[in-house]
Amino acid sequence: MLSTQHSSDLPARSVDLAIIGSGPGGYEAALRAAKAGMKVCLIEKGALGGVCVNWGCIPTKALLKSAELFDLVKKAGSFGLKVESSGIDLAEAVKRSRNVALKLSKGIGFMLRRAGVDVIQGEALFTSAHDLDVVRDGVRVETVAANSIIIASGARSRQLPGMEPDGKRIITSREALALKSLPQSMIVVGGGAIGVEMAWFYAMAGTSVTLVELMPRLLPLEDAEISDGLKRSFQKAGITVVTGAKLESVVVGGKVSATLVVEGEESQPVSGDYLLVAVGVTGNSDGLGLERAGVEVERGFIVTDPFCRTSVNHIFAIGDVRGGMLLAHKASAEATIAVESIAGNTPALLDESMIPRCVYSEPSVASVGLSEEQAIAQGYKVTVGRSMFAASGKANAYGSLEGLVKLVFNAVDGRLLGAHILGHGAVELIGELTLARRLEVTAELLAGTVHAHPTLSESIKEAAENALQK
């Protein structure tokens, strides 16, 4: 319950811009606005860096690096390295990931202080379209009057009826990032990026993992050929992947037991030490008092125009709370748009077809632009080029032969419409193709660009050459 202290009795400050949330969008907006000469305050209820730095992108990738090493040690003999059998210390892997997150969070704090941004610890609560109360431990401690406001409050995990997280046996990715001992078995519900990454991490650590996805394939928004290839890779790695399926009759006891229902097949029992629910997120739009500011919300996400402006002219929303592609680098790009708009400039708008998407399993997945299915559905006549990593000298040297580069071109003018990579290093290779997509590079230009040998990036050139041969 909030303190009854009246807002007029609280310490007050006036700023040009108040920002709610310090994730990739929030702190980027603060730094840019401060550099532009604005007086900025940033309100954050948790650790600086938001979910991405503290419980999302960064600690996840630190753990996934541990999983990559787990997997590599298993294959050490093929590289001429004799390694005695040893166990996996999950607590140490988690400790490392937490230290990585803490270091980056402290770094963000340093950058904000150096830029002159006032950081206020607490929850922001609108009292009017220009005024915010800051609440700490249930007590109103300060008020902020702002000419402009950016809401960058992020998102939280969605819940499924009958599978509400209890933090003990039914968990979200947040709890999965902090387990101290390795479970023998785990059910993961959700075949999107979070579910795929968590399933792969625990499988590499030695947990028996069952991955359940309601849609017909993993990563249902990605190119079908890439999704199918990832499923085969996961099954080869010992992960049980069940698509077009759902869980019913979930019971929590010493383990989590449920019925696995697959369309057209007989139902079967399934159980695990933990049930990890990773079925997407919803925006953190409630609890902010947006109704007092007149900000419109739809299905948990704040409604905005292409300039990130909400239904109230001087209030903007960026990042996950705005909806669309739920990616940290999209939030950072939106921060630029919002700050430029506040400064009175006309920024270049964001084209989601130019934003790369990455999944950090092994093999990893990276893509930008249209899938083959999407391009055809939009009326394009397409030419597709492929290059298999099994034919790559560098991939063979790495011992990472799975996957391919798949490029989708407009058959009429040769322009790149979409690029899709499944394989080791895919998330690093996508940068070249994101630039190629933005510059509307053709298959001929990609094929004619000299790539270093031996590198994984040669497969991009070879995929373009394959398209030209067709």
For 334, list phi and psi in degrees, rounded to 5.
-65, -30
Nearest-angstrom CA–CA distance, 360 and 196:
9
453 assigned to active site: yes
Structure tokens at 461: 């050139």
Structure tokens at 88: 């996996």
In order of 44, 120, 276, 301, 317, the CA distances from 115 in angstroms are 17, 15, 40, 30, 22
Structure tokens at 416: 């790149």
Nearest-angstrom CA–CA distance, 216 and 218:
7
Nearest-angstrom CA–CA distance, 184 and 200:
14
At 188 the three-state DSSP class reads strand
Question: Among residues 130, 329, 420, 453, which one is catalytic?
Answer: 453
The DSSP 8-state label assigned to residue 326 in this structure reads -
Nearest-angstrom CA–CA distance, 379 and 353:
16
For 112, list phi and psi in degrees, rounded to 5.
-65, -45
* Cβ–Cβ < 8 Å for 403, 229: yes
Tell me how far apart the 2 most distant CA atoms of the chain are, in Å.
75
In order of 74, 140, 216, 266, 467, the CA distances from 228 in angstroms are 25, 52, 10, 23, 21
Question: CA triplet 70, 73, 79: central angle to 5 degrees?
Answer: 145
- Report the 10 Å Cβ neighbour count for 358: 19
For residue 363, cis peptide bond before it (omega within 30 degrees of 0): yes
For 342, list phi and psi in degrees, rounded to 5.
-60, -35
Instruction: Indicate the residue type of 78.
Output: S
* Cβ–Cβ < 8 Å for 421, 367: yes
Q: Is 182 exposed, middle or buried (0-12, 13-18, 19+ CB in 10 A)?
A: middle
DSSP string, 446-458: HHHS---SS-TTH
| Residue positions annotated with a catalytic role | 453
